Amino acid sequence: MTDAQKLYEGKAKIIYATDDPNVLLTYFKDDATAFNAQKKGQIANKGVINCAITRHLYALLENKASPPIC
C-alpha cells in the first residue's frame, strides 16, 4: 500500500483506501467518549477487540451469503 488515502474517520475507526479498489483498510481506535463527548479517554486494546468482533461478524455474513451445499 502506498500513500494510504483516508476515506472516513469516526469515533471508533478510520477507513483507508488501498491499491486494490476491492479492499479497504480499517484501523480501530482505542478512543472512548462519554456524555456526548464531554469525557474523552482511551481504553487499552479496545481497537483490537472491536477488530476481532468485526472479523467474526463478517465471517458469519460470508458464510450466510454462500449458496447452500446440496
Question: Would 70 be classed as within a structural domain?
Answer: no
Kind and range of the H or E run holding 32: strand 31-34
Q: Check which CATH number belongs to the domain holding 61 and give it.
A: 3.30.200.20
Burial class (CB in 10 A: 0-12, 13-18, 19+), 4: middle
Q: Residue 1 — pLDDT band, cuts 50, 70, 90?
A: very low
Question: Would 1 be classed as within a structural domain?
Answer: no
Question: Would 40 be classed as within a structural domain?
Answer: yes
Which structural domain range is residue 52 located in?
Answer: 6-65
Question: Each residue of 11-53: pLDDT tens digit?
Answer: 999 999 999 999 999 999 999 999 988 899 999 999 999 999 9
Number of domains in the chain: 1
pLDDT score, position 36:
87
Question: Would 44 be classed as within a structural domain?
Answer: yes
Cβ atoms within 10 Å of 33's Cβ, excluding its own: 12
